[in-house]
Structure 1
């Protein structure tokens, strides 16, 4: 099989969705050597992956993940692609607690840092959370507390078959952008920060093939893979197989314009300190950017269609200490297991 697939890829021919899924099934099931996987990844990168190919890959990765079951009809994720290189504090992780504090269940998918100063797993460990939970414990957190952290390496065991190859190649592959689409809780309501604006239309086509409830792809002013306070942010909104593009300007919602450099941290310790201050309600630009990003996640939940109301919900979650309560309850529970 692998020779035929490689010949097709190297001759710049595209795979069907079914061929792509079959290919990924074989990779996930360790039926290829590391050299063969390397050739496939490089060939696809040079050819440029199509939405149909990426859709097949996602479907296979979802099938191979450990499943997280939930009693909630709507669950939100704030996991982004990472890779913007700006080394900001963990905005999407802080936003997850704010969304949960607003009464919307959150299954926060995440991993350790690859290119940032602090991955979501790194900062949560620094904050004292136990992130190494089994599926039952994760389900308990999600169902009873309303928020859970889904540590990717524990829930995607088949990804170990490509870990060495990815590390040795040292280049971006499609795996870097597909992580947010493989949440083991099967979330259909998301905000996904994207490091590269140019890949957003392709990613949107993949998402439409998956027929989600409501997803926002965002690329922030200044190159952030979050909504930024630096200027208008590029957004693609997807509902089912329909999408629309627009720009979201924070200044229209009374946020002060702030450079993305304001949010840079050196390590997970600095990020953790900032998150604690935000959840305690201290007024700052950090709080503003978390409110902005939590608001669009609230919009993705379909709790409201009014962005101003979503902003107020995010602010209330922090000011009422409900976000802090979710943080403390989850932290305590994970350390009793």
Structure 2
């Protein structure tokens, strides 16, 4: 079937960005921050032809994610979603930003969710946001439902939940619908796109601290680079289970940090001795509920929860070292009820 695109001046303008990315070896280049901000803003507003959008996203992926480009995309997404500058959630005094966009094929229960809820019970204000559409495990929404809780339906209900409970979960389709539609294009591509990285770095409430998980270690440098360029206060990033900010302490690991005062750094995280792998296939929503209520205490999931709480404490500078963080985490977990 012959397809003749209907070109507009806007399409012609967007074509320059696609050409910049795709001219070929020795001629193509990454977009500048402002170019990426303008181009991605056009995508989010529906001003680019769908064929152009597909080409744009896959060229960005093929070239490799660039911190300048992703910074521009994050800025455009925040602009379109009405975040920052007193327009969104930045007046709620959120302590910790917690993105959840993992798509692991071997994920089970969202133990990181119980870590975030325990932190909230201890007095830390946590805003979680994300999309689990491509994860094989139990979603955050399903985990919340098992505990008698629900995702926020809009920004106002998120604010209402945060005041008494210090925790809210904003699905991306509520927080930034245009971004969510772009994430869903993974079904057509068979591949993730840089939109996934940009979504993780939205920090919708301008929280001073953040924890973030990546599936592939090379993305860590991009996350830290965007944190630096956007003026984030402090962000901890690690290769987490299924790409989530979750620490499974079966073996030693390294967490990477961006700190506005100290720059980049690393924290060596020791393993918890004697742990055995926990098969995710046996995880259920009922098990999530039972662990939260203290009716079940499988060793590796409980240690995962504690180690993930410890990550957040290190991110927020509330512990001086991993050992102290784990001790504090054990207390926070035991006192959650």
Query: TM range, normalised to the smaller chain?
Result: 0.7 to 0.9
Name the counterpart of 2:47: 31
1:6 aligned residue: 18
* Aligned ranges 1:26-105 → 2 under 5 Å: 26-67=42-83, 68-69=88-89, 73-105=93-125
Residue of structure 1 in register with 2:217 after alignment: 197
Task: Sort the Cα spacing of 1:232 and 1:245 in 2 relative to 1 into closer, same or farther, 3 A.
Answer: same
> Equivalent residue for 1:331?
none
Verify the 8 A CA contact 1:263 1:286 in the aligned structure 2.
no
- The separation in 1 between residues aligned to 2:21 and 2:48, in whole angstroms, is 16
Residues 1:217 and 2:237 are matched in the alignment: yes
Q: Within 2, Cα distance between the matches of 1:3 and 1:25?
A: 14
2:104 and 2:241 in contact (8 A); partners too: no
Cα deviation, residue 265, structure 1: 3.5
The residue aligned with 1:290 is 305
Q: Partners of 2:91 and 2:34 in 1: how far apart? A: 31
Residue 272 of structure 1: CA displacement?
Answer: 4.5
After superposition, give the CA deviation of every residue in 1:137-174 in whole Å (9 maximum; x if it has no partner). Answer: 21121123211111221111222552553331121111
Q: CA RMSD in A?
A: 2.5
Choose which of 281, 294, 315 in structure 2 pairs with 1:280.
294
d(CA) in 2 for partners of 1:265, 1:128? 23
| Number of the residue aligned with 2:255 | 235
SS in 2 for 1:37: helix
Residue equivalent to 1:332: none
175-184 vs 12-21, which moves further: 175-184
Q: What's the offset of the Cα at 1:66? A: 4.8
Deviation (angstroms), 1:199: 1.8
Q: Quote how far apart the aligned CAs of 1:101 are.
A: 1.9
In the alignment, the residues of structure 2 paired with residue 246 and residue 151 of structure 1 have an alpha-carbon distance, to the nearest angstrom, of 30
* Among candidates 161, 164, 175, match of residue 141 of structure 1: 161
Q: Which stretch shifts more, 305-314 or 145-154? A: 305-314
Match of 1:173 in 2: 193
Cα displacement (A) at 1:115? 2.6
TM-score normalised by L of structure 1? 0.84
Q: Give the structure, 1 or 2, with the largest relative contact order (CA under 8 Å, sep 6 or more).
A: 1
Specify the structure having the higher radius of gyration (Cα).
2
1:152-206 Cα shifts (integer Å, max 9, x gaps): 2111122255255333112111122222211322223111111111221222212
Which is richer in helix? 1
State how far apart, in whole Å, the 2-side matches of 1:178 and 1:119 are.
20
CA 1:299/1:6 → structure 2, altered by over 3 Å: closer, same or farther?
same
SS in 1 for 2:307: helix
Residue 275 of structure 2 is aligned to residue 258 of structure 1:
yes
Distance in 1 of aligned mates of 2:119 and 2:207: 15
Aligned residues: 315
The SS at the match of 1:294 is: helix
What residue ranges of structure 2 are gaps of 5+ in the alignment?
1-12
Correspondence for 1:153 = 173
